[in-house]
Amino acid sequence: MNFIGQILPVDGYTVSLKESLPVDYVKSLTHLYQPLLGIKAIALYQTLLHDIELNQEQAPQTHHTLMNYLDLPLDEIFEARLKLEGIGLLKTYKQNWKSSDLYTYELQRPFAPGNFFKDAMLSQLLYHHLGDQKFELLKNHYGRQAAPAYGVNMTAAFSEVFQTFTPSIEVIEEEGIRRVESKAEMDTTDFTWIEQMLKQRMIPAANVLTSNNRRLISQMMILYDLDTHEIDKSLLWALNDENRLDTEEFKTACHDLFKAKNSQKPIRLAKRVAVTETKQKADKPKTKEETLIERLETMSPKQLLEDLSNGNHASEQDMKAIREVMTTQGLPGPVMNVLIHYVLLQTNMKLSKAYLEKIASHWSRANIQTAKEAMAFAKKEQANFQNTAKQKTTYNKKPVSKEVIPDWFKDRKHKQQTQPAANQSVVMTEEQKRIAARLRQYSNGN
């Protein structure tokens, strides 16, 4: 990704600290955060931390100062800043300042070494980066105020900066990154599907979806890039006899599902390789079909039904039918959206479960994974159906001869058809004469 020009050397910056740092924060930065972020990001954090005293004594400094401190070009500083934002160590605010921009960097308190391992997502990432042995060694050894008015909060979210595995070029081109981007903010995770799934199985949702468990579920969805039906499977696997969620079993189940889908892809923090490509596509004018596909890729089936019913709540019966079809056939959310849209169009806006199941099983066997693939497949099937119907109609019609017939052949055929009629006329005349003669004989008494 090209970071050149995102910030300028003349842009100013000030630094503030949200909360006091833990006593052993250096150990956390060195042993726990540095394996995830790299040395440049940690160096930037520590430089900004010690800049706080200087900011209190003088006017804002320029980013040219940071370039001199770190001996790094500005694009690498910007990249390191994004990593700090994505991991939760920095918040960035922007406002106008003289003839340029002024950034306020609000440093966030890092986890103390002991609390770091209580965060499921960070501890899982560290485990994948360091391996089992080193991770266990560190784990055994180390066994918010309102934001000031700095301007518009433009802090990058975790999933905007990182991805937990590097997809192949083919996957990036065909599938894109919309499914991951739809989960960019943990707070926006839709738990309606999970609640309905638990209610259907007579499991008290309040016992399972506690605030800590909701956060854990959101983190695992982002970390392992799981769909809702995959999270459902992991939850059911990790419930104990008292219908309580075993967090370790849940994390293990999510990891196993990820390995089953991506057996050759290691879990690592990496830059979003498709962010630039997505922005370039966004700049181009989109057709109505592209806009529809983009919406179907990012929204949930529940949102789709509510949009199609002018904002009214989706009925429980429709949601139940969709959930059963989706979980039974294992269709991703975007593909399910296209299926709902297609069925509603074909059945005069009636959501038929039997029709849903019939098409869903076909699409599942065809291994359709994205909304774009589903849209193209549906178009192809519809075209084949129309061609078949047209051929049947043509077959039932009598063929019309287009052969050119010469005039002499027509005259001969006409003579052949009229000749028997003429002969019949002659015969009928003789018969009439015979009958008339017999009548005369009868009249004369003979």
Report in angstroms the alpha-carbon separations of 6 from 74, 75, 334, 342: 9, 8, 33, 43
> What's the pTM value of the predicted model, to 2 decimals?
0.46
What does the pLDDT average to over 345-367? 82
State how far the Cα of 193 lies from the Cα of 180, in Å rounded to an integer. 18
Secondary structure class of 211 (helix, strand, coil): helix
What does the pLDDT average to over 209-217? 85
Q: Which of 111-125, 179-193, 213-227, 276-290 has the lowest mean pLDDT?
A: 179-193
Q: Give me the DSSP letters along 368-424.
A: --SHHHHHHHHHHHHHHHHHHHHHHHHHHSPPPP-----HHHHHHHHHHHHHHHHHH
pLDDT over 50 at 368, yes or no: yes
pLDDT attached to residue 285: 52
Q: Which of 190-199, 335-344, 378-387, 423-432 has the lowest mean pLDDT?
A: 423-432
Tens digit of each residue's pLDDT (9 = 90 or more) over 233-265: 888 888 888 888 888 888 888 888 877 776 656
Q: Which among 29-33, 216-220, 297-301 has the top mean pLDDT? A: 29-33
What does the pLDDT average to over 85-100? 88
What does the pLDDT average to over 202-208? 85
State how far the Cα of 343 lies from the Cα of 31, in Å rounded to an integer. 54
pLDDT class for 353, splitting at 50, 70, 90? confident
Tens digit of each residue's pLDDT (9 = 90 or more) over 6-27: 788 888 899 998 788 888 889 9
State how far the Cα of 203 lies from the Cα of 328, in Å rounded to an integer. 19
pLDDT over 60 at 410, yes or no: no
- Mean pLDDT, the chain, as a whole number? 75
Strand partners, 153: 93
How many other CB atoms are found less than 10 A from the CB of residue 289? 11
pLDDT attached to residue 89: 93
Q: Which of 76-80, 181-185, 296-300, 375-379 has the lowest mean pLDDT?
A: 181-185
Write down the domain spans for the chain.
12-153, 169-271, 286-377
Which among 80, 98, 101 has a CA at the least distance from the CA of 90? 80
Which among 167, 158, 81 has a CA at the least distance from the CA of 125? 158
Percent of the chain with pLDDT over 90: 11
pLDDT class for 327, splitting at 50, 70, 90? low
Q: Which of 423 and 337 is assigned the larger pLDDT?
A: 337
pLDDT attached to residue 164: 65
Q: Which of 1 and 296 is assigned the larger pLDDT?
A: 296
Tens digit of each residue's pLDDT (9 = 90 or more) over 129-172: 888 888 888 888 886 434 456 777 788 877 778 776 655 544 44
Q: Which among 93-107, 316-330, 411-425 has the top mean pLDDT? A: 93-107
pLDDT over 50 at 177, yes or no: no
56 Rama class: left (phi>0) / alpha (psi -120 to 50) / beta = alpha
Which among 34, 5, 32, 270 has a CA at the least distance from the CA of 158? 270
pLDDT over 60 at 418, yes or no: no
* Fold type of domain 12-153: Arc Repressor Mutant, subunit A (1.10.10)
Secondary structure class of 445 (helix, strand, coil): coil
Q: Do residues 336 and 301 make contact, with C-beta atoms less than 8 angstroms apart?
A: yes
Q: Which of 12 and 323 is assigned the larger pLDDT?
A: 12
Q: Give me the DSSP letters along 317-352.
A: HHHHHHHHHHHHHT--HHHHHHHHHHHHHHTTT---
